[in-house]
Amino acid sequence: MKPKSKLQSEIRHLRTFVAAAEFGSFRKAANGLHVQESAVSRRIRDLEDQIGASLFIRHAGGIALTLAGQRFLTRARLALGQLDEGLREVSAIGRSETGHLRVGLFSSIASGFVSRLFGLYDDRYPSVEVDFIEGSAECHMFLLNKLQMDIAFTIGNRKQHPYDAHELWREQVFAAVWDEHPLGAKSELSWSDLALEEFLVRPGGPGDEVRDYLSLRLSQIGRQPRFRVQNIGRYSLLGLVASRRGVAPMLASETAISIPGVIYRPIAGEILPFFAITSPKNDNPAARTLLSLARILSRSENSRP
């Protein structure tokens, strides 16, 4: 039989003491606890020896609390109540019924795989609080290492890192252009079509990866992209596209954003993989259930004809 820990033994002694006080009898307490009366007597004696005071007065009709026992009973009930509450909380966290998740995002959560994933997750685990952090893969890796982020959904997985990477979905790359742009007449664009365009991008975070991605693709056809960096949000960036200040690269999930004067055209052959990145050092149960659900959703969607 596995030996009891000191903490388990102390909790057992406290529960025995409270039961004896409530029943007013070692025999009745033993029946309630499903143990021998001698075990109850031994536990009470051990507890009295440990605290250095008598807790009960033994008499022919049973037992009665001493003054020390009366005061200790109040404390014991409070301690056991807090312990039971703590055990319920920890158990709920272990089942991911409650908890806190910090999630890194590269793209919008408004639509697409991530939107569907968190729709399912919120339905199953409504008491888990989720905080979203938008940023680059490099930023996400730093936060994962510091255990300040639980899971990151990010583009690509080219650079080596010590984290676990799980490919979940892929997205087509689009170009957002104004509605009267000559490229709008095409059903599909090539990089050569975009070579002379000015790209509107945001600084830092995902914007850095977007610029690297565009530089790589255009360099492959002997071109260098022209960037106009704008320190504004995604919606405002599309507003600049509508005002003919440039074009903007977009993911399929982002094309759900409807801005008057803006149309989207796919870039031929440009489909990017997205990964869930987690740290093996992270033991957050809510993160494990989220990743498990993400993989189930991924298999379900990838198996569709």
Q: Determine the Cα–Cα distance for residues 268 and 260; give it in Å rounded to an integer.
A: 24
Residue 145: C-alpha distances to residues 16, 105, 152, 158 (Å): 45, 16, 12, 18
Q: For 91, which DSSP code?
A: H
In tens digits, the chain (305 residues) has pLDDT values of 444 567 788 888 989 999 999 898 999 989 989 999 999 999 999 998 888 889 999 887 789 999 998 989 988 888 888 887 776 666 555 555 568 899 998 766 667 898 899 999 999 888 889 999 887 777 888 888 888 999 999 886 566 778 888 999 998 999 999 999 999 999 999 999 999 999 998 876 667 778 888 998 999 999 999 999 998 888 899 999 999 999 999 988 889 889 999 999 999 999 988 889 998 888 888 888 899 999 999 998 877 65
Q: Determine the Cα–Cα distance for residues 114 and 279; give it in Å rounded to an integer.
A: 19
Give CA angle at 289 (157, 87), nearest 5°: 140
Q: Determine the Cα–Cα distance for residues 141 and 238; give it in Å rounded to an integer.
A: 28
The answer for 261, left when phi > 0, alpha when psi is -120 to 50, beta otherwise, is left
Query: Which letter, b or e, does each residue of 146-185 get, where b requires 16 or more Cβ atoms within 10 Å of its Cβ?
Result: eeebbbbbbbebeeeeebeebebbebbbbbbbbeebeebe
CB 71 within 8 A of CB 6: no
CB 214 within 8 A of CB 249: yes
Residue 289: C-alpha distances to residues 117, 129, 302 (Å): 12, 14, 20
CA proximity to 45, closest of 34, 33, 58: 58
Which two tokens mark 84?
């039971």
What is this structure's pTM? Answer: 0.63
Q: Classify strands 151-155 and 262-278 as parallel, antiparallel or unpaired.
A: antiparallel
Which two tokens mark 3?
């030996």
Q: Classify strands 151-155 and 56-59 as parallel, antiparallel or unpaired.
A: unpaired
- List all residues 6 or more positions away from 237 whose beta carbon is below 8 Å from its beta carbon: 200, 202, 230, 248
